[in-house]
């Protein structure tokens, strides 16, 4: 019997309220979050804090499968992706 699992890329969008210094404009905030030393792993702690305070993340998050976007190290068949065995 074959393996009926598949690996897909899923894009999660999070609309998280965050506090920043009043004098920072959009460019500075985007730079800080994407190009500077701020690590995206910090997002986990922020989401856990938001979840504790609000009881759920569902109203600030969405998830969508990225169509036809192969996973590195995988091969695509008919719109799904299979992990290659090593």
Give the tens place of pLDDT for each residue, 10-62. Answer: 999 999 999 999 999 999 999 999 999 999 999 999 999 999 999 999 999 99
Q: Is 78 within a domain?
A: yes
65 is a domain residue: yes
Neighbours of 60 (CB within 10 A): 15
Is 5 domain-assigned? no
Residue 46 covered by a domain: yes
Between 85 and 67, residue with greater pLDDT? 67
Cα 55 to Cα 58: distance, rounded to the nearest angstrom:
9
Residue 16 falls inside a structural domain: yes
Q: Number of structural domains, the chain?
A: 1
**Contact assessment for residue 43 and residue 49, using Cβ atoms and an 8 Å cutoff:** no
Runs of H (alpha helix) within the chain: 26-34, 42-54
Taking alpha carbons only, the member of 5, 15, 6, 4 closest to residue 63 is: 15
User: What residue numbers bound the domain in which 52 lies?
Assistant: 10-83
């Amino acid at each position: 019997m074959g393996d009926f699992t598949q690996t897909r890329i899923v894009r999660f969008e999070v609309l998280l309220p965050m506090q920043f210094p009043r004098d920072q404009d959009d460019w500075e905030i985007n730079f800080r979050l994407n190009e500077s030393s701020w690590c995206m792993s910090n997002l986990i702690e922020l989401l856990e804090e938001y979840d504790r305070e609000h009881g759920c993340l569902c109203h600030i998050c969405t998830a969508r499968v990225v169509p036809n976007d192969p996973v590195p190290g995988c091969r695509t068949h008919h719109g799904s992706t299979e992990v290659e065995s090593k």
